[in-house]
Chain A
Amino acid sequence: MYVAVKGGERAIDNAHAWLAEERRGDTGVAELSLAQIREQMSLAVNRVMAEGSLYDPDLAALAIKQSRGDLIEAIFLIRAYRTTLPRFGYSEAVNTGDMACDRRISATFKDAPGGQVLGPTFDYTHRLLDFKLAADGEAPEAPVADPRLEVTPHITEFLQGEDIIEREPSSEAVPGDLTREPMSFPAGRAVRLQSLARGDEGFILGMAYSTQRGYARNHAFVGELRIGKVPVEMEIPELGFAIEIGEVELTECETVNQFKGSKTVPPQFTRGYGLVFGQSERKSIAMALVDRALRWEELGEDNLGAAAQDEEFVLSHSDNIQATGFLEHIKLPHYVDFQSELELVRKLRREAQELAEEMAAREAAE
Protein backbone atom coordinates (compact mmCIF):
# COMPACT_ATOMS: atom_id res chain seq x y z
CA MET A 1 0.00 0.00 0.00
CA TYR A 2 1.36 3.42 -0.91
CA VAL A 3 0.45 6.48 1.12
CA ALA A 4 1.83 9.96 0.64
CA VAL A 5 3.91 11.06 3.59
CA LYS A 6 5.26 14.52 4.24
CA GLY A 7 7.86 15.82 6.58
CA GLY A 8 11.21 14.56 5.29
CA GLU A 9 12.14 17.42 2.97
CA ARG A 10 14.81 19.03 5.11
CA ALA A 11 16.33 15.70 6.08
CA ILE A 12 16.38 14.60 2.41
CA ASP A 13 18.00 17.84 1.23
CA ASN A 14 20.66 17.61 3.90
CA ALA A 15 21.26 13.93 3.15
CA HIS A 16 21.84 14.76 -0.53
CA ALA A 17 24.16 17.63 0.38
CA TRP A 18 26.18 15.25 2.53
CA LEU A 19 26.14 12.69 -0.30
CA ALA A 20 27.71 15.31 -2.60
CA GLU A 21 30.38 16.07 -0.02
CA GLU A 22 31.14 12.38 0.55
CA ARG A 23 31.27 11.82 -3.19
CA ARG A 24 34.05 14.35 -3.44
CA GLY A 25 35.91 12.74 -0.52
CA ASP A 26 39.05 14.35 0.89
CA THR A 27 39.49 17.68 -0.91
CA GLY A 28 43.23 17.36 -0.31
CA VAL A 29 43.13 14.64 -2.99
CA ALA A 30 42.81 15.74 -6.63
CA GLU A 31 39.32 15.42 -8.13
CA LEU A 32 38.70 12.71 -10.74
CA SER A 33 38.00 14.00 -14.24
CA LEU A 34 35.60 12.25 -16.59
CA ALA A 35 38.47 11.72 -19.03
CA GLN A 36 40.43 9.92 -16.31
CA ILE A 37 37.51 7.59 -15.61
CA ARG A 38 36.92 7.01 -19.32
CA GLU A 39 40.57 6.25 -20.05
CA GLN A 40 41.69 4.48 -16.87
CA MET A 41 38.53 2.76 -15.63
CA SER A 42 37.54 1.69 -19.13
CA LEU A 43 36.24 -1.76 -18.22
CA ALA A 44 33.87 -0.22 -15.65
CA VAL A 45 32.81 2.25 -18.37
CA ASN A 46 32.22 -0.70 -20.72
CA ARG A 47 30.06 -2.50 -18.19
CA VAL A 48 27.94 0.59 -17.61
CA MET A 49 27.48 1.03 -21.38
CA ALA A 50 26.59 -2.66 -21.88
CA GLU A 51 24.06 -2.93 -19.06
CA GLY A 52 22.86 0.66 -19.41
CA SER A 53 22.31 -0.38 -23.04
CA LEU A 54 23.70 2.90 -24.36
CA TYR A 55 27.08 3.25 -26.07
CA ASP A 56 28.55 6.57 -24.97
CA PRO A 57 31.82 6.38 -22.99
CA ASP A 58 31.64 9.99 -21.74
CA LEU A 59 28.13 9.56 -20.35
CA ALA A 60 29.11 6.27 -18.69
CA ALA A 61 32.12 7.99 -17.09
CA LEU A 62 29.85 10.74 -15.76
CA ALA A 63 27.44 8.15 -14.37
CA ILE A 64 30.30 6.34 -12.60
CA LYS A 65 31.52 9.58 -11.05
CA GLN A 66 28.02 10.56 -9.94
CA SER A 67 27.32 7.11 -8.46
CA ARG A 68 30.60 7.07 -6.51
CA GLY A 69 31.60 3.93 -8.41
CA ASP A 70 28.39 1.99 -7.66
CA LEU A 71 28.03 0.50 -11.13
CA ILE A 72 24.41 -0.60 -10.78
CA GLU A 73 23.52 2.94 -9.69
CA ALA A 74 25.49 4.22 -12.72
CA ILE A 75 23.60 1.84 -15.02
CA PHE A 76 20.35 3.15 -13.51
CA LEU A 77 21.40 6.74 -14.38
CA ILE A 78 22.19 5.72 -17.96
CA ARG A 79 18.89 3.86 -18.37
CA ALA A 80 17.01 6.91 -17.08
CA TYR A 81 18.90 9.24 -19.44
CA ARG A 82 18.34 6.87 -22.36
CA THR A 83 14.58 7.25 -22.06
CA THR A 84 14.92 11.00 -22.72
CA LEU A 85 16.60 10.48 -26.11
CA PRO A 86 14.50 10.54 -29.25
CA ARG A 87 15.02 7.34 -31.24
CA PHE A 88 16.43 8.22 -34.67
CA GLY A 89 16.14 4.68 -35.96
CA TYR A 90 17.71 1.27 -36.15
CA SER A 91 21.15 0.53 -37.56
CA GLU A 92 21.94 -2.06 -40.16
CA ALA A 93 23.14 -5.22 -38.42
CA VAL A 94 26.84 -4.77 -37.67
CA ASN A 95 29.21 -7.08 -39.50
CA THR A 96 31.50 -8.57 -36.86
CA GLY A 97 33.42 -10.36 -39.62
CA ASP A 98 34.85 -6.93 -40.54
CA MET A 99 35.99 -6.24 -36.99
CA ALA A 100 39.40 -4.64 -36.50
CA CYS A 101 40.39 -7.24 -33.89
CA ASP A 102 42.39 -6.11 -30.86
CA ARG A 103 42.02 -9.64 -29.58
CA ARG A 104 40.96 -12.86 -31.26
CA ILE A 105 41.40 -16.29 -29.78
CA SER A 106 40.01 -19.76 -30.38
CA ALA A 107 40.02 -22.58 -27.85
CA THR A 108 39.22 -25.08 -30.61
CA PHE A 109 41.63 -24.39 -33.48
CA LYS A 110 45.26 -23.66 -32.78
CA ASP A 111 46.09 -22.73 -36.37
CA ALA A 112 43.02 -20.70 -37.29
CA PRO A 113 43.67 -18.30 -40.18
CA GLY A 114 44.34 -14.90 -38.67
CA GLY A 115 45.99 -16.58 -35.72
CA GLN A 116 45.62 -16.38 -31.98
CA VAL A 117 45.90 -12.72 -31.07
CA LEU A 118 45.96 -12.19 -27.32
CA GLY A 119 45.37 -8.43 -27.20
CA PRO A 120 45.48 -6.47 -23.92
CA THR A 121 44.42 -9.40 -21.71
CA PHE A 122 44.55 -10.24 -18.00
CA ASP A 123 45.00 -13.91 -19.01
CA TYR A 124 48.38 -15.37 -18.06
CA THR A 125 49.04 -12.63 -15.52
CA HIS A 126 49.87 -13.97 -12.06
CA ARG A 127 47.14 -12.01 -10.28
CA LEU A 128 49.69 -10.59 -7.90
CA LEU A 129 49.20 -7.01 -6.79
CA ASP A 130 51.53 -4.75 -8.71
CA PHE A 131 52.84 -2.21 -6.23
CA LYS A 132 54.55 -0.32 -9.02
CA LEU A 133 51.09 1.00 -9.91
CA ALA A 134 50.82 2.51 -6.43
CA ALA A 135 53.68 4.83 -7.33
CA ASP A 136 53.45 7.29 -10.20
CA GLY A 137 55.30 6.10 -13.23
CA GLU A 138 55.62 6.30 -16.96
CA ALA A 139 53.37 3.89 -18.86
CA PRO A 140 55.49 1.32 -20.67
CA GLU A 141 55.13 1.33 -24.44
CA ALA A 142 53.59 -1.79 -25.97
CA PRO A 143 55.68 -3.59 -28.60
CA VAL A 144 54.47 -3.43 -32.20
CA ALA A 145 54.65 -5.72 -35.22
CA ASP A 146 53.51 -5.58 -38.84
CA PRO A 147 49.76 -4.92 -38.71
CA ARG A 148 47.41 -7.41 -40.32
CA LEU A 149 45.46 -5.67 -43.07
CA GLU A 150 43.08 -8.43 -44.21
CA VAL A 151 39.84 -9.11 -42.34
CA THR A 152 39.87 -11.98 -39.88
CA PRO A 153 37.36 -14.69 -40.84
CA HIS A 154 35.04 -16.24 -38.26
CA ILE A 155 36.14 -19.67 -37.06
CA THR A 156 32.65 -21.14 -37.52
CA GLU A 157 32.97 -20.50 -41.27
CA PHE A 158 35.56 -23.29 -41.45
CA LEU A 159 33.31 -25.74 -39.64
CA GLN A 160 30.42 -24.78 -41.88
CA GLY A 161 32.45 -25.84 -44.87
CA GLU A 162 32.17 -29.41 -43.58
CA ASP A 163 28.56 -28.89 -42.51
CA ILE A 164 29.62 -30.20 -39.14
CA ILE A 165 28.12 -27.23 -37.30
CA GLU A 166 24.59 -25.92 -37.57
CA ARG A 167 24.11 -22.98 -39.92
CA GLU A 168 22.56 -19.79 -38.65
CA PRO A 169 19.55 -19.40 -40.92
CA SER A 170 19.94 -16.12 -42.76
CA SER A 171 17.01 -13.83 -42.19
CA GLU A 172 16.03 -10.20 -42.36
CA ALA A 173 13.08 -10.61 -39.97
CA VAL A 174 12.51 -7.45 -37.93
CA PRO A 175 13.55 -8.37 -34.37
CA GLY A 176 11.41 -7.55 -31.35
CA ASP A 177 12.64 -4.64 -29.24
CA LEU A 178 12.08 -4.90 -25.50
CA THR A 179 12.58 -1.15 -25.11
CA ARG A 180 9.48 -0.65 -27.24
CA GLU A 181 7.12 -3.51 -26.35
CA PRO A 182 6.97 -5.21 -22.96
CA MET A 183 8.48 -8.70 -22.95
CA SER A 184 6.09 -11.63 -23.32
CA PHE A 185 6.85 -15.35 -23.26
CA PRO A 186 7.98 -17.25 -25.21
CA ALA A 187 10.20 -14.29 -26.08
CA GLY A 188 12.09 -15.81 -29.00
CA ARG A 189 15.84 -15.80 -29.54
CA ALA A 190 16.15 -12.20 -30.80
CA VAL A 191 14.57 -10.70 -27.68
CA ARG A 192 16.46 -13.18 -25.50
CA LEU A 193 19.76 -11.97 -26.94
CA GLN A 194 18.79 -8.32 -26.45
CA SER A 195 17.83 -9.06 -22.87
CA LEU A 196 21.02 -11.04 -22.15
CA ALA A 197 23.22 -8.35 -23.73
CA ARG A 198 21.91 -5.75 -21.23
CA GLY A 199 21.47 -8.23 -18.34
CA ASP A 200 23.47 -8.15 -15.13
CA GLU A 201 26.93 -9.60 -15.62
CA GLY A 202 26.87 -11.34 -12.23
CA PHE A 203 23.50 -12.94 -12.88
CA ILE A 204 24.40 -14.10 -16.39
CA LEU A 205 27.72 -15.42 -15.08
CA GLY A 206 25.95 -17.38 -12.32
CA MET A 207 23.45 -18.85 -14.78
CA ALA A 208 26.24 -19.81 -17.21
CA TYR A 209 28.26 -21.35 -14.40
CA SER A 210 25.25 -23.44 -13.36
CA THR A 211 25.17 -24.99 -16.86
CA GLN A 212 28.84 -25.91 -16.53
CA ARG A 213 28.25 -27.50 -13.14
CA GLY A 214 25.60 -29.83 -14.49
CA TYR A 215 22.29 -27.93 -14.52
CA ALA A 216 21.29 -28.06 -18.19
CA ARG A 217 24.67 -29.54 -18.88
CA ASN A 218 25.91 -28.50 -22.29
CA HIS A 219 29.61 -28.69 -22.71
CA ALA A 220 30.80 -25.56 -24.50
CA PHE A 221 34.05 -24.80 -26.27
CA VAL A 222 34.91 -21.20 -26.97
CA GLY A 223 35.09 -21.53 -30.74
CA GLU A 224 36.04 -17.91 -30.98
CA LEU A 225 36.30 -14.81 -28.89
CA ARG A 226 37.01 -11.49 -30.58
CA ILE A 227 37.20 -7.91 -29.35
CA GLY A 228 37.51 -4.84 -31.50
CA LYS A 229 35.76 -1.99 -33.23
CA VAL A 230 33.15 -2.27 -35.94
CA PRO A 231 31.53 0.55 -37.92
CA VAL A 232 27.79 1.10 -37.45
CA GLU A 233 25.78 1.89 -40.59
CA MET A 234 22.33 3.37 -40.74
CA GLU A 235 20.09 4.17 -43.68
CA ILE A 236 19.50 7.93 -43.68
CA PRO A 237 15.96 8.60 -44.88
CA GLU A 238 16.78 12.13 -46.11
CA LEU A 239 19.56 10.76 -48.31
CA GLY A 240 18.20 7.41 -49.40
CA PHE A 241 21.45 5.58 -48.66
CA ALA A 242 23.30 4.27 -45.62
CA ILE A 243 26.29 5.97 -44.01
CA GLU A 244 28.49 5.00 -41.10
CA ILE A 245 27.19 6.93 -38.10
CA GLY A 246 30.02 5.85 -35.84
CA GLU A 247 31.88 2.85 -34.54
CA VAL A 248 31.47 0.73 -31.43
CA GLU A 249 33.80 -1.61 -29.62
CA LEU A 250 32.26 -5.06 -29.22
CA THR A 251 33.14 -8.38 -27.64
CA GLU A 252 31.79 -11.40 -29.50
CA CYS A 253 31.84 -14.99 -28.31
CA GLU A 254 30.81 -18.00 -30.32
CA THR A 255 30.60 -21.30 -28.53
CA VAL A 256 30.65 -24.72 -30.15
CA ASN A 257 28.53 -27.24 -28.29
CA GLN A 258 27.83 -30.93 -28.48
CA PHE A 259 24.73 -32.23 -30.17
CA LYS A 260 23.91 -35.89 -30.63
CA GLY A 261 21.74 -35.39 -33.67
CA SER A 262 18.14 -36.42 -34.13
CA LYS A 263 15.95 -38.45 -36.48
CA THR A 264 16.20 -35.75 -39.11
CA VAL A 265 19.57 -34.12 -38.40
CA PRO A 266 22.91 -36.00 -38.35
CA PRO A 267 25.20 -35.39 -35.37
CA GLN A 268 26.68 -31.92 -35.60
CA PHE A 269 27.88 -29.11 -33.39
CA THR A 270 25.49 -26.41 -32.24
CA ARG A 271 26.14 -22.80 -31.33
CA GLY A 272 25.70 -20.30 -28.55
CA TYR A 273 26.22 -16.59 -29.17
CA GLY A 274 27.30 -13.67 -27.04
CA LEU A 275 27.68 -10.05 -28.19
CA VAL A 276 28.30 -7.22 -25.75
CA PHE A 277 29.26 -3.53 -25.94
CA GLY A 278 32.88 -2.81 -25.04
CA GLN A 279 35.61 -5.14 -23.89
CA SER A 280 33.39 -7.44 -21.83
CA GLU A 281 34.85 -10.90 -22.20
CA ARG A 282 33.40 -12.66 -19.15
CA LYS A 283 29.95 -11.35 -19.95
CA SER A 284 30.02 -12.39 -23.60
CA ILE A 285 31.17 -15.96 -22.82
CA ALA A 286 28.49 -16.24 -20.13
CA MET A 287 25.88 -14.86 -22.54
CA ALA A 288 26.79 -17.48 -25.15
CA LEU A 289 26.41 -20.32 -22.63
CA VAL A 290 23.03 -19.08 -21.43
CA ASP A 291 21.86 -18.48 -25.03
CA ARG A 292 22.75 -22.09 -25.85
CA ALA A 293 21.03 -23.48 -22.73
CA LEU A 294 17.84 -21.55 -23.61
CA ARG A 295 17.79 -23.11 -27.09
CA TRP A 296 16.98 -26.60 -25.71
CA GLU A 297 13.49 -26.69 -27.16
CA GLU A 298 14.33 -25.68 -30.75
CA LEU A 299 17.19 -28.25 -30.72
CA GLY A 300 14.88 -31.01 -29.44
CA GLU A 301 16.72 -31.50 -26.17
CA ASP A 302 15.17 -32.61 -22.88
CA ASN A 303 13.91 -30.06 -20.40
CA LEU A 304 15.95 -30.99 -17.35
CA GLY A 305 14.10 -28.48 -15.21
CA ALA A 306 17.27 -26.42 -14.85
CA ALA A 307 16.97 -22.70 -14.14
CA ALA A 308 19.16 -21.84 -17.15
CA GLN A 309 16.68 -23.59 -19.46
CA ASP A 310 13.76 -21.55 -18.15
CA GLU A 311 13.42 -18.54 -20.43
CA GLU A 312 10.90 -16.78 -18.24
CA PHE A 313 13.02 -17.29 -15.13
CA VAL A 314 16.24 -16.08 -16.78
CA LEU A 315 14.83 -13.07 -18.62
CA SER A 316 12.63 -11.95 -15.75
CA HIS A 317 15.54 -11.85 -13.32
CA SER A 318 18.53 -10.77 -15.41
CA ASP A 319 17.82 -7.04 -15.41
CA ASN A 320 19.64 -5.48 -12.46
CA ILE A 321 17.67 -2.23 -12.61
CA GLN A 322 14.33 -4.01 -12.32
CA ALA A 323 15.76 -6.28 -9.65
CA THR A 324 17.34 -3.57 -7.56
CA GLY A 325 14.29 -1.34 -7.91
CA PHE A 326 12.02 -3.99 -6.47
CA LEU A 327 14.54 -5.18 -3.92
CA GLU A 328 15.47 -1.76 -2.59
CA HIS A 329 11.95 -0.35 -2.50
CA ILE A 330 11.27 -2.39 0.65
CA LYS A 331 13.53 -0.08 2.64
CA LEU A 332 11.29 2.90 1.86
CA PRO A 333 8.50 3.82 4.29
CA HIS A 334 5.87 1.06 4.56
CA TYR A 335 4.42 2.44 7.77
CA VAL A 336 0.79 1.85 6.85
CA ASP A 337 1.34 -1.68 5.47
CA PHE A 338 3.24 -2.57 8.57
CA GLN A 339 0.62 -1.01 10.82
CA SER A 340 -2.01 -3.31 9.38
CA GLU A 341 0.29 -6.36 9.78
CA LEU A 342 0.91 -5.33 13.35
CA GLU A 343 -2.80 -5.04 14.04
CA LEU A 344 -3.36 -8.46 12.51
CA VAL A 345 -0.65 -10.19 14.56
CA ARG A 346 -1.91 -8.54 17.76
CA LYS A 347 -5.45 -9.67 16.96
CA LEU A 348 -4.29 -13.25 16.32
CA ARG A 349 -2.32 -13.28 19.54
CA ARG A 350 -5.29 -11.90 21.45
CA GLU A 351 -7.54 -14.61 20.01
CA ALA A 352 -5.00 -17.34 20.80
CA GLN A 353 -4.70 -16.01 24.33
CA GLU A 354 -8.45 -15.93 24.79
CA LEU A 355 -8.77 -19.45 23.46
CA ALA A 356 -6.04 -20.71 25.80
CA GLU A 357 -7.72 -19.01 28.78
CA GLU A 358 -11.07 -20.48 27.81
CA MET A 359 -9.55 -24.01 27.54
CA ALA A 360 -7.84 -23.60 30.90
CA ALA A 361 -11.08 -22.44 32.55
CA ARG A 362 -12.98 -25.37 31.03
CA GLU A 363 -10.34 -27.85 32.25
CA ALA A 364 -10.45 -26.35 35.75
CA ALA A 365 -14.26 -26.61 35.80
CA GLU A 366 -14.22 -30.28 34.84
Chain B
Amino acid sequence: MKTEISAPARKAWMSLLAQADEAELSRLWHAFNHSPDFDWLRPPEAGGVMVRGRMGGSGAPFNLGEMTVTRCALTLADGTVGHAYVQGRSKPKAEIAAKVDALMQTEAAQNLRQAVLEPLQQVQQARKEARAARAAATKVEFFTMVRGED
Protein backbone atom coordinates (compact mmCIF):
# COMPACT_ATOMS: atom_id res chain seq x y z
CA MET B 1 0.00 0.00 0.00
CA LYS B 2 1.45 3.32 -1.05
CA THR B 3 1.15 6.32 1.20
CA GLU B 4 1.37 9.99 0.28
CA ILE B 5 4.98 11.20 0.54
CA SER B 6 6.17 14.79 0.79
CA ALA B 7 9.20 15.77 -1.27
CA PRO B 8 11.11 17.27 1.70
CA ALA B 9 10.63 14.04 3.71
CA ARG B 10 11.84 11.90 0.84
CA LYS B 11 14.75 14.24 0.19
CA ALA B 12 15.77 13.91 3.85
CA TRP B 13 15.93 10.12 3.87
CA MET B 14 17.51 9.83 0.43
CA SER B 15 20.19 12.35 1.49
CA LEU B 16 20.83 10.41 4.68
CA LEU B 17 21.16 7.14 2.75
CA ALA B 18 23.49 8.73 0.15
CA GLN B 19 26.00 9.71 2.82
CA ALA B 20 25.62 6.66 5.04
CA ASP B 21 28.61 4.52 5.90
CA GLU B 22 28.13 1.33 3.87
CA ALA B 23 29.01 -1.08 6.68
CA GLU B 24 26.65 0.72 9.06
CA LEU B 25 23.78 0.80 6.56
CA SER B 26 24.29 -2.85 5.67
CA ARG B 27 24.30 -3.94 9.33
CA LEU B 28 21.10 -2.03 10.13
CA TRP B 29 19.35 -3.22 6.97
CA HIS B 30 20.15 -6.87 7.61
CA ALA B 31 19.07 -6.53 11.22
CA PHE B 32 15.74 -5.15 9.94
CA ASN B 33 15.48 -8.53 8.22
CA HIS B 34 13.06 -7.71 5.46
CA SER B 35 13.79 -8.63 1.87
CA PRO B 36 10.95 -7.49 -0.37
CA ASP B 37 10.38 -8.91 -3.85
CA PHE B 38 11.38 -6.39 -6.46
CA ASP B 39 12.28 -5.89 -10.12
CA TRP B 40 15.07 -3.67 -11.36
CA LEU B 41 14.01 -0.62 -13.32
CA ARG B 42 17.68 0.30 -13.56
CA PRO B 43 20.28 -2.04 -12.07
CA PRO B 44 23.05 -0.36 -10.05
CA GLU B 45 25.63 1.52 -12.11
CA ALA B 46 28.57 3.63 -10.98
CA GLY B 47 29.18 7.01 -12.57
CA GLY B 48 30.47 10.49 -11.98
CA VAL B 49 28.81 13.74 -11.01
CA MET B 50 30.59 17.02 -11.71
CA VAL B 51 30.65 19.03 -8.48
CA ARG B 52 30.31 22.78 -8.86
CA GLY B 53 31.60 25.60 -6.70
CA ARG B 54 31.07 29.36 -6.84
CA MET B 55 33.66 32.08 -7.47
CA GLY B 56 34.44 33.74 -4.17
CA GLY B 57 32.02 31.31 -2.50
CA SER B 58 29.00 33.31 -3.66
CA GLY B 59 29.46 34.32 -7.31
CA ALA B 60 29.13 32.57 -10.65
CA PRO B 61 29.40 28.76 -10.69
CA PHE B 62 32.41 26.81 -11.99
CA ASN B 63 33.16 23.10 -12.33
CA LEU B 64 35.41 21.91 -9.50
CA GLY B 65 35.83 18.18 -10.20
CA GLU B 66 33.84 14.96 -10.19
CA MET B 67 32.76 12.60 -7.45
CA THR B 68 31.74 8.96 -7.76
CA VAL B 69 28.07 8.13 -7.38
CA THR B 70 26.15 4.86 -7.78
CA ARG B 71 22.51 4.90 -8.78
CA CYS B 72 19.73 2.40 -9.31
CA ALA B 73 15.96 2.17 -9.41
CA LEU B 74 13.62 -0.70 -8.57
CA THR B 75 9.96 -1.45 -8.20
CA LEU B 76 8.33 -3.48 -5.43
CA ALA B 77 5.62 -6.08 -6.07
CA ASP B 78 2.91 -3.47 -5.28
CA GLY B 79 4.39 -1.08 -7.87
CA THR B 80 6.16 1.28 -5.46
CA VAL B 81 9.29 2.72 -7.08
CA GLY B 82 12.49 3.21 -5.11
CA HIS B 83 15.43 5.30 -6.29
CA ALA B 84 18.96 5.61 -5.00
CA TYR B 85 21.82 7.98 -5.75
CA VAL B 86 24.56 7.22 -3.24
CA GLN B 87 28.14 8.44 -2.90
CA GLY B 88 30.88 6.01 -3.93
CA ARG B 89 30.95 2.91 -6.11
CA SER B 90 29.13 0.34 -3.97
CA LYS B 91 26.31 -1.45 -5.76
CA PRO B 92 25.09 -3.24 -2.60
CA LYS B 93 24.81 0.13 -0.85
CA ALA B 94 22.77 1.56 -3.73
CA GLU B 95 20.51 -1.50 -3.72
CA ILE B 96 19.77 -1.20 0.00
CA ALA B 97 19.19 2.54 -0.36
CA ALA B 98 16.68 2.01 -3.17
CA LYS B 99 14.82 -0.68 -1.18
CA VAL B 100 14.66 1.61 1.84
CA ASP B 101 13.43 4.46 -0.38
CA ALA B 102 10.68 2.23 -1.76
CA LEU B 103 9.64 0.77 1.62
CA MET B 104 9.54 4.25 3.17
CA GLN B 105 6.59 4.90 0.85
CA THR B 106 4.69 1.91 2.25
CA GLU B 107 3.20 0.85 5.58
CA ALA B 108 6.64 -0.41 6.60
CA ALA B 109 7.80 3.20 6.91
CA GLN B 110 7.35 3.58 10.66
CA ASN B 111 9.31 0.43 11.57
CA LEU B 112 11.96 1.12 8.98
CA ARG B 113 12.47 4.65 10.24
CA GLN B 114 13.10 3.35 13.74
CA ALA B 115 15.25 0.42 12.70
CA VAL B 116 17.42 2.02 10.01
CA LEU B 117 17.04 5.76 9.46
CA GLU B 118 17.08 6.96 13.04
CA PRO B 119 20.18 4.97 14.04
CA LEU B 120 21.92 6.14 10.84
CA GLN B 121 21.02 9.71 11.65
CA GLN B 122 22.37 9.32 15.18
CA VAL B 123 25.67 7.85 13.98
CA GLN B 124 26.08 10.64 11.45
CA GLN B 125 25.22 13.32 13.99
CA ALA B 126 27.62 11.86 16.55
CA ARG B 127 30.43 11.79 14.00
CA LYS B 128 29.80 15.42 13.07
CA GLU B 129 29.66 16.52 16.68
CA ALA B 130 32.88 14.68 17.51
CA ARG B 131 34.71 16.62 14.80
CA ALA B 132 33.08 19.91 15.78
CA ALA B 133 34.08 19.32 19.42
CA ARG B 134 37.71 18.78 18.41
CA ALA B 135 37.61 21.87 16.21
CA ALA B 136 36.17 23.91 19.08
CA ALA B 137 39.09 22.87 21.29
CA THR B 138 41.50 24.43 18.75
CA LYS B 139 39.77 27.82 18.77
CA VAL B 140 42.21 30.57 19.69
CA GLU B 141 41.32 32.57 22.82
CA PHE B 142 43.13 35.86 22.40
CA PHE B 143 44.11 37.89 25.42
CA THR B 144 45.83 41.25 25.55
CA MET B 145 49.14 41.51 27.33
CA VAL B 146 49.25 44.18 30.02
CA ARG B 147 51.55 46.87 28.76
CA GLY B 148 53.90 48.83 31.00
CA GLU B 149 53.22 52.42 29.91
CA ASP B 150 50.69 53.40 32.55
Contacts and interface: CB of A to CB of B under 8 A. Distances in A.
Interface of A: 49-50, 53-56, 58-59, 82, 85-94, 96-97, 100-103, 110-111, 115-121, 142-149, 154, 156, 168-179, 189-191, 193-194, 197-198, 231-232, 234, 236, 238-248, 250, 252, 254, 271, 273, 275, 277
28 contacts: A54-B66, A85-B48, A85-B68, A88-B49, A91-B67, A92-B52, A96-B53, A102-B134, A115-B139, A119-B138, A145-B137, A147-B132, A147-B135, A168-B56, A168-B57, A169-B60, A170-B58, A171-B61, A174-B61, A175-B52, A178-B63, A190-B55, A194-B63, A243-B11, A247-B87, A254-B56, A275-B53, A277-B64
Given A168-B56, A194-B62, A90 B49 contact: yes
A170 to B, nearest CB: 6
A27 to B, nearest CB: 30
Interface in B117-137: 128-137
Contact of A245 (B49, B55, B89, B135): B49
Contacts of B10: 239, 241, 243
A246 B142 contact: no
B69 A245 contact: yes
B63 A190 contact: yes
Contacts of B69: 88, 245-246
A175 B66 CA distance: 14
A94 B63 CA distance: 10
B19 interface: yes
B116 interface: no
B31 interface: no
Candidate in A49, A87, A117 with the most chain B CB atoms within 10 angstroms:
A117
Interface in B34-80: 45-69, 71, 73
A174 to B, nearest CB: 8
A117 B137 CA distance: 8
A49 B88 CA distance: 13
Contacts of B135: 101-103, 117, 119, 147-148
B25 interface: no
Contacts of A88: 47-49, 69, 71, 85
Nearest to B57: A96
B111 interface: no
B54 A93 contact: yes
Nearest to B50: A90
Contacts of B65: 49-50, 53-55, 194, 197-198, 277
Contacts of A275: 53, 64
Interface residues of B, number: 54
Nearest to B53: A275
Contacts of A244: 11, 14-15, 18-19
B83 interface: yes
A88 B66 CA distance: 10
Contact of B56 (A55, A101, A156): A156
A50 to B, nearest CB: 7
Contacts of B137: 142-145
B45 A86 contact: yes
B56 A59 contact: no
Contacts of B48: 54, 82, 85-88
B142 A110 contact: yes
A245 to B, nearest CB: 5
Interface string B70-111: 010100000000010111110000000000000000000000
B64 A197 contact: yes
B140 interface: yes
Given A91-B52, A145-B137, A85 B46 contact: yes
Candidate in A54, A85, A178, A189 with the most chain B CB atoms within 10 angstroms:
A85
A93 B56 CA distance: 12
